[in-house]
Structure 1
């Protein structure tokens, strides 16, 4: 039996947009991300529940390393006051590599703009499987695309 344990990688992205503006996109309007960053996200669809509610089931179709991926996720935690959000992967391509996978996002207001902190929690299927650094990098690039979309819109 393969030895496995929960691992975590994280990064921060400095944004010009306010924490609330940025958080609102991921929490209440993730389906707009496909329009904002079509080269990364092909579509975001809701299967159960409503946008911006805990327990909703959402699927993401995205490109990573030149390959198409699908991830069906449950919105596990929403903390609107602290701009925190977590998605747990239920099914899809990532579960071929990882026993469990969770995306955590927290956006913190700063004097000028905000900071988005991405944390990926995962358990590898096999020890040789690499940590999902490319996925974390995609979060960074998506954050920058959304930030420039939000800040252009209001200038």
Structure 2
């Protein structure tokens, strides 16, 4: 029998970069992430719309648990004041295991740096489907690489 319940996993990462700079990479320049974190993100391409706009459709080719995966997402909402962006998966490997899958990124200034908060909201197709902890771990590691990229050479 199918299992249906919206669930969420979350993680936060403290970084040295400003919230605005980190958010800018994910909202306006996600295609740069393949250069920053090539061992995880193989490519990011836009299919419809423009970078940094709601309704745009973006595909990610990435490595998850040693497997090459694809996720096609629509940018559901952008809140530039809160440095928040919501992505909804519309095609790809994740939908083999989940009825729905959303990624929410929010970056908040804190002290001399900021806090990157990742939330993955999903609905499992089957009860035995694992929670997406590997993806959450990938997101936090990628956040640290982006932080290093943004802050290298800066004191």
TM interval, shorter chain, is over 0.9
- Equivalent-residue separation in structure 1 for 2:15 and 2:86 (angstroms): 19
Whether 1:88 and 2:88 are equivalent positions in the alignment is yes
Corresponding residue for residue 25 of structure 1: 25
Aligned residues: 155
Could you list the runs of 5+ residues in structure 2 that have no partner in the other structure? none
Could you list the runs of 5+ residues in structure 1 that have no partner in the other structure? none
TM-score in terms of structure 1 length: 0.98
- Equivalent-residue separation in structure 2 for 1:15 and 1:76 (angstroms): 25
Corresponding residue for residue 117 of structure 2: 117
* Structure 1 residue 36: Cα displacement: 0.2
- Equivalent-residue separation in structure 2 for 1:71 and 1:150 (angstroms): 25
Secondary structure of 1:45's partner?
strand
- Equivalent-residue separation in structure 1 for 2:3 and 2:96 (angstroms): 16
- Equivalent-residue separation in structure 2 for 1:153 and 1:48 (angstroms): 35
RMSD: 0.8
- Equivalent-residue separation in structure 2 for 1:84 and 1:99 (angstroms): 24
- Equivalent-residue separation in structure 2 for 1:111 and 1:7 (angstroms): 31
Q: How does 1:28-107 map to 2 (within 5 A)?
A: 28-107=28-107
* Structure 1 residue 154: Cα displacement: 3.8
Corresponding residue for residue 132 of structure 1: 132
Corresponding residue for residue 12 of structure 1: 12
TM-score in terms of structure 2 length: 0.98
